[in-house]
Amino acid sequence: MKKIFSFIFLLVLGNTAMAQVINKPSQAQSDSLIPNSVSKKSILKPIVIDPHPFVLPIAKASVRGSYPIELAFNKTTHIVFPSKIKDFDAGSAVVIATVPETVLNVLRVKSDVKGFVEETNMTVLTEDGGLYSFLVRYNENPAVFNINISNNIIADYEATKALGIGASSNSSPNTYVLADGNYVEEALKVSSQKVIDKKSFIRHVGAKKDNFEALVKGLYLDNNNLLFMKLQLKNKSYMPYKIDFIKVFVRDKNYVKRMAVQEEEITTLMSYPIAPDQLNGYSDIEKVISFPYYTLADGKVLEIEVYEKAGGRHVKFQLDNQTLLQVKNL
């Protein structure tokens, strides 16, 4: 009886072991039978690299955007910059460029190799302190052959603000140091556009004459101690008004007629936007003028003059220290 029980036990045990052997997949089968979720998880697991303790991160506000551009072998692309080209560099010898002797702010660029595959880059430095970066690809039939960078300033500002790169209120497009007293034209344009976008906060400061009106709407000071004055110019007649110039003076507050007046003209760095410079009938425009700022001495005022070209509708008005102290940070 014991022998029969032992035989039955061994028989059952053998069948169980055999079933395990039969059902156990091979190594190849085992790999293929791993669930997709597990397989993908192991493949897509990110590699984590510990940062170096002495490496500083690059902030998004410090990143300068690049323009995409396509070059051809049999066609030339022209790029117009806001000022004279000072330096040019290409990441590869496949890019060749020249600057005309008579027009120093235009870059002629093309490919020196037909059908190059890898993307490269090129960089342009201009006399006013601007740095312009381009990502270059080959296309024998580019969609664009002529590019005016000056007309792209507003679009650049909006795009960088949306992307969060180089758009900090304290940042500046200045890319390399200029001599004292020189200012980067591109930086002035970007700052002026910021001023136009801001809400007006100054009221009842200005002058009007013969249905033409000039009003101060805002004062802003940047980190370079430059003052940006937002002006609203209104033409309240059918007669077009063409702006001849807008000037700024420091003058004596109180003076007697026929007495010599002490005055000092302050050089206006920019009147933005440059165009339009004409107001059609019953229209208005906003202008931003920028100039170095300093506190007025006792008995002095800041006088703004707006002159009509070939006309007599000139207006002038004064700003005292009380008004200037309303200035806001840009």
Domain locations along the chain:
60-163, 200-329
What would the mean pLDDT of 16-31 be, rounded to a whole number?
A: 43
pLDDT at 49: 65
Cα dihedral 152/153/155/161 (nearest 10)? 150
Q: How confident is the model at residue 43 (pLDDT cuts 50, 70, 90)?
A: low
Same fold, 60-163 and 200-329: yes
Q: How far apart are CA 130 and CA 177, in angstroms?
A: 10
CATH of 200-329, one of 2.102.10.10, 2.40.50.140, 2.60.40.1230, 3.40.50.2300: 2.60.40.1230
Select the more confidently predicted residue: 45 or 270.
270
For 60-163, which CATH class? mainly beta
Select the more confidently predicted residue: 80 or 188.
80
Q: Could you please report the per-residue DSSP string of 109-125?
A: EEESSTT--S-EEEEEE
pLDDT at 16: 47
Residue 66 above 70 pLDDT?
A: yes
Range of lowest pLDDT (124-128, 172-176, 195-199): 172-176
Residue 224 above 90 pLDDT?
A: no
